[in-house]
Amino acid sequence: MPELPDIVVYVEALERRVVGQLLARVRLINPFLLRTAVPPIESVEGREVRRVRHLGKRIVLALEDDLFLILHLMIAGRLRWLEHGARPPGRITLALFEFTPGVLAFTEAGTKRRASLHLVQGEATLAGFDMGGLDVLAIDAGAFQERLLQENHTLKRALTDPRLFSGIGNAYSDEILHRALLSPIAMTRKISASDIERLYQAARAVLTEWTERLRADAGRDFPEKVTAFRPEMAVHGRFRAPCPVCGTPVQRIVYAENETNYCPRCQTGGVILADRALSRLLKSSWPRSIDESE
């Protein structure tokens, strides 16, 4: 799922292309993408885009007459910018938004169709899509600590909870926790004040660095390679690859469709965290520490 750094770069690319432009036409290739019926989608046609912003991981196009198009990419959704007359990408295209400078294609790989499009009118209605999470880059350490301790969760869950923090998902939570040298399963109310400060600084640094990196990679082009798995990442998606800090093989916990990646030496004191499926299967053969597994 595209997270805050990807979303910010998407927003900036759209700002350069569509703000001040008329949305001439919306073509719904897959009608199930649109999750609202009122106002009708045709009501945005011929309207000028006044602003592009984001609400967490949602991208919002603000148009005339207080109309808002809300694009939620979910896991496999992506945006592409096409020249007029260019053929949209195959079966994965869900909708096309035609502007004078070009066409914005909303795509989604796979068949689960989780991506969504909403059209709402009025700031009050738009506010209903705000999950309430705080932007780590816009708050001080005190606000971060207060929000982190609001509920007693694992650090991984707290960072990725959109009600607590905005725009952080599976990938960047792994990177943040590795930078902070903290276990993903440590409980929020059991870590020290110095741990919280380190987590706050790590979150700001990781999100800022990756936003700048992705911004530089895209340049003035529209971002094309939006992925949660990048070779420059420290731990996310790098199971069994060496940790860039200590060289220990990166480990993982797999659950549902996600996985948590971590370094056992840097983050968990050498302990290999139990993976529900594998540790139950292997039982006594499941290694308890990285030394035992080597």
Tell me the pLDDT tens digit for each residue of 87-135.
Answer: 998 899 999 999 999 999 999 998 888 999 999 999 999 999 999 999 9
* 152 and 289 belong to one structural domain: yes
* pLDDT at residue 276 greater than cutoff 60: no
Domain that holds residue 239: 146-293
Tell me the pLDDT tens digit for each residue of 181-238.
Answer: 999 999 999 999 999 999 999 999 999 999 999 999 999 999 998 998 999 999 999 9
* 47 and 98 belong to one structural domain: yes
* 80 and 26 belong to one structural domain: yes
Instruction: Tell me whether residue 21 is in a domain.
Output: yes
User: Which CA distances in Å does 193 have to 12, 87, 127, 138, 190?
Assistant: 36, 54, 33, 20, 10
* 172 and 279 belong to one structural domain: yes
* 188 and 243 belong to one structural domain: yes
Instruction: Tell me whether residue 225 is in a domain.
Output: yes
C-alpha 194, offset from chain centre: 27
pTM: 0.92
The answer to whether the beta carbons of residues 73 and 115 sit under 8 Å apart is yes
Measured distance CA(213)–CA(205) in Å, rounded: 12
Structural domains counted in the chain: 2
Residue written as token pair 């292997």: 282
* 288 and 207 belong to one structural domain: yes
* 200 and 232 belong to one structural domain: yes
* 172 and 221 belong to one structural domain: yes
* pLDDT at residue 289 greater than cutoff 70: no
- What element of type H or E holds 120? strand 116-121
Q: How confident is the model at residue 1 (pLDDT cuts 50, 70, 90)?
A: confident
